[in-house]
Amino acid sequence: MNKKWLSVVLMIVGALLLVGGLYLILIPASAEGFLSALPFILIGVGCGALGQGIGDRLQQRKIARSPALAKQQANERNDERNIAIANRAKAKAFDLMVYVFGALLLSFAQFGVSTAATISLTAAYLLVIGYRIFVSVQFDREM
Amino acid sequence: MKNCLETLRKQRGIRQEELADALGISRQTVSSLENGRYNPSILLAFKLSRYFQLPIEEIFFDEEETNRE
């Protein structure tokens, strides 16, 4: 699917979710738990998808009218300094995340948050740390 | 790492935007290179070398080595 159709599909899906969410709010229902929050989730996701679709489509139209702008955007996207900045920022954020999540896990354990929540968060934390080691070993072989 | 990119570019009467466009990089990268805030990859250094038709060591030079000489 090309980018034009992807943005159109995103707009249609977003609009449908938004209308569906609004409809569910308007009709009286006796939903409980997750279902009671469903209309608001639909509205949130719908607005996001619709906004993204409209934004993408407007950008595509602007680029189609100006090849110079398209080339400039491609240069910005492929620019090695921009890529290096993005990678360094991600690496810094990951370093911070390791400490923040570690502290959060300790506080979860300390304040008696449910075992299931603590264990699933620990598993997710270890998965990320394990993936980091796996990728490091892979890069070590490749480079 | 120091370089004489700004001098070379001005000698040829090229704007930063034009150089960036020819090399497929952003204008900010050209500016950072000229100010010595960013050291290019070896691939970009070769592109610059080809663009200015000069050897890499005539565009980029090690600051310490230059001071020693």
Query: Comparing A8-17, A62-71, B48-57, which segment has the lowest mean pLDDT?
Result: A62-71
Same domain? A116 vs A53: no
Shared domain for A7 and A74, answered yes or no, is: yes
| A50 and A116 inside one domain | no
My answer on whether A86 and A32 are in the same domain is: no
The alpha carbon dihedral of A89, A90, A95, A96 has a sign of positive
The string over A27-64, giving b where at least 16 C-beta atoms fall within 10 Å of a residue's C-beta and e elsewhere, is: eeeeeeeeeeebbeebbeebeebbeebeebbeebeebe
Of A54, A78, A102, the residue that ends a domain is A78
C-beta atoms of A81 and B25 within 8 A:
yes
What values do phi and psi take at A32, rounded to 5? Answer: -125, 160
pLDDT tens figures, A101-118: 999 999 988 888 888 989
- The model's pTM is 0.75
**A52 and A114 both lie in a single domain:** no
Q: Which of residues 21-80 of A touch B (CB under 8 A)?
A: 71-72, 74-76, 78-80
Average pLDDT score, chain A:
90
- Closest CA relative to residue A7, chosen from A80, A56, A73, A74: A56
State the pLDDT at residue A71: 87
Instruction: Specify the number of domains making up chain A.
Output: 2
Distance from CA of A74 to the nearest CA of B (A): 8
Residues of B whose CB is below 8 A from A74: 24
From the candidate CATH numbers 1.10.260.40, 3.90.1150.10, 1.25.40.10, 2.60.120.260, the one assigned to the domain spanning B2-68: 1.10.260.40
Q: Which residues contact A140 (CB under 8 A, 6 or more apart)?
A: none
Whether A15 and A37 map to the same domain: the answer is yes
pLDDT at B43: 95
pLDDT higher than threshold 70 for residue B68? no
The whole domain housing A100 covers 80-142
Which among A72, A80, A85, A143 is the top mutation candidate for probing chain B, defined by the most B β-carbons within 10 Å of its own β-carbon? A80
Does A41 lie in the same domain as A84? no
